[in-house]
């Protein structure tokens, strides 16, 4: 199981700004190791953020997202104390979900 | 004898009903638990902008200036971590995709923007070399594209 994500969600005016830092190799499948063997691709393919069960952002990613991916977006309709969940799934089927409370 | 036959029929009926019930159960078991849309293999393996647009279900995007690139740099020192921010000012934006033209696969990320979420995302991408970077916006069912060049210097060697 991969390391937890760091999720910051903060109310700013009438919006909630979300910043997520994930922990993932994001191996492209283009690189070779010292023996000249191709290192197999290993990267996050799908990301979903939900607030009160409603999807507020979903994404499909390719291997060209940087290692330890960063994501920022903002949405309306949440208040401080609400929970925000983020889930990712990678190309090997590994999966991770983390949750954060929205800060004032 | 007649009565025995009737009983046999009942037994057969009951048996087949059980079989059908079993089918329902197994059908329930094999139904996909991950109901999310599958990863778009075609779009992510496409070469060139036109093929990516096709993979995402569109054709011939209209050039637009209604995209702000936020803090996206014009010159990136490190191609492994290039911050890219895209904000669409096109009404009814449904999705934002980021394409790096000269990468082995141009499509880097595709974000779906539901109602209530602002049409702006920022992330970090890898770039093999200096390239045009495109923001492909789907709004009200139509595709729009905005482009800018990001130069990658890779350690200041003037690459």
Task: Give which of B70, B91, B89 is closest to B148, Cα–Cα.
Answer: B70
| Identity of the residue in A62, A75, A89 whose CB atom sits nearest the CB atom of B107 | A62
Contact A23, A31 (CB under 8 A): no
Q: Are strands B75-76 and B142-152 parallel, antiparallel or unpaired?
A: parallel
Alpha carbons B26 and B14: distance in angstroms, whole number:
19
User: Does A58 sit within 8 Å of B121, measured CB to CB?
Assistant: no
pLDDT at A25: 96
Q: What is the pLDDT of residues A5-63, one digit of tens each?
A: 999 999 999 999 999 999 999 999 999 999 999 999 999 999 999 999 999 999 999 99
Cβ of residue A69 closer than 8 Å to a chain B Cβ: yes
Please report where in the chains the tokens 């009983």 appear, as a residue. B7
Contacts of A89 in chain B (CB under 8 A): 34, 36
pLDDT at B105: 94
User: Does A89 sit within 8 Å of B109, measured CB to CB?
Assistant: no
Contact A87, B130 (CB under 8 A): no
pLDDT at A1: 61
Contact A84, A73 (CB under 8 A): no
pLDDT at B131: 95
Alpha carbons B85 and A72: distance in angstroms, whole number:
9
Task: Give which of B113, B124, B104, B137 is closest to A59, Cα–Cα.
Answer: B113
CA of A26 to nearest chain B CA: how many angstroms apart?
10
Q: Looking at this predicted complex, what is its ipTM?
A: 0.95
CA atoms within 13 A on the CB side of A102: 25
CA atoms within 13 A on the CB side of B115: 1
Alpha carbons A82 and A80: distance in angstroms, whole number:
6
Alpha carbons A44 and A95: distance in angstroms, whole number:
9
Tokens representing residue B148 in the block: 């800018």
Contact A31, A83 (CB under 8 A): no
Between A2 and B67, the more confident residue is B67
pLDDT at B48: 87
Q: What is the pLDDT of residues A48-81, one digit of tens each?
A: 999 999 999 999 999 999 999 999 999 999 999 9
For chains A and B, CB pairs below 8 A equal 99
User: Does A63 sit within 8 Å of B117, measured CB to CB?
Assistant: no
Please state the pTM of the whole predicted model: 0.83
User: Does B124 sit within 8 Å of A64, measured CB to CB?
Assistant: no
CA of B64 to nearest chain A CA: how many angstroms apart?
22
pLDDT in tens, chain B (159 residues): 555 566 666 655 555 554 544 444 444 433 333 334 689 999 999 988 999 999 999 989 999 999 999 999 999 999 999 999 999 999 999 999 999 999 999 999 999 999 999 999 999 999 999 999 999 999 999 999 999 999 998 744 443
Contacts of A56 in chain B (CB under 8 A): 114, 116-117
Cβ of residue A71 closer than 8 Å to a chain B Cβ: yes
CA of A42 to nearest chain B CA: how many angstroms apart?
14
> Which A-chain residues 9-68 have CB contacts (< 8 A) with chain B?
15, 26, 28, 30, 45-46, 48, 54-67
């Amino acid at each position: 199981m991969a390391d937890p994500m760091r999720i910051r969600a903060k109310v700013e005016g009438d919006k909630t700004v979300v910043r997520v830092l994930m922990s993932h190799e994001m191996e492209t499948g283009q690189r070779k190791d010292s023996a000249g063997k191709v290192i197999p691709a290993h990267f996050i393919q799908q990301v979903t953020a939900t607030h009160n069960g409603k999807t507020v952002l979903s994404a499909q990613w390719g291997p060209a997202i940087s290692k330890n991916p960063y994501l920022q977006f903002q949405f309306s309709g949440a208040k401080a104390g609400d929970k925000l969940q983020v889930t990712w799934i990678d190309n090997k089927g590994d999966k991770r979900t983390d949750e954060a409370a929205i800060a004032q | 004898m007649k009565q025995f036959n009737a009983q046999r029929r009942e037994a057969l009926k009951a048996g087949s009903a059980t079989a059908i019930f079993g089918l329902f159960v197994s059908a329930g078991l094999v139904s996909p638990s991950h109901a999310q849309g599958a990863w778009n293999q075609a779009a992510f393996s496409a070469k060139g902008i036109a093929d990516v647009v096709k993979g995402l279900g569109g054709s011939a995007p209209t050039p637009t200036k209604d995209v702000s690139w936020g803090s996206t740099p014009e010159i990136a020192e490190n191609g492994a971590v290039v911050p890219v921010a895209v904000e669409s000012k096109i009404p009814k934006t449904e999705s934002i995709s980021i394409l790096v033209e000269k990468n082995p696969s141009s499509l880097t990320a595709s974000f779906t923007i539901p109602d209530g979420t602002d049409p702006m995302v920022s992330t970090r991408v890898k770039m093999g070399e200096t390239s045009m970077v495109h923001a492909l916006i789907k709004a009200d069912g139509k595709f729009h594209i905005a482009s800018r060049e990001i130069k990658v210097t890779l350690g200041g060697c003037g690459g």
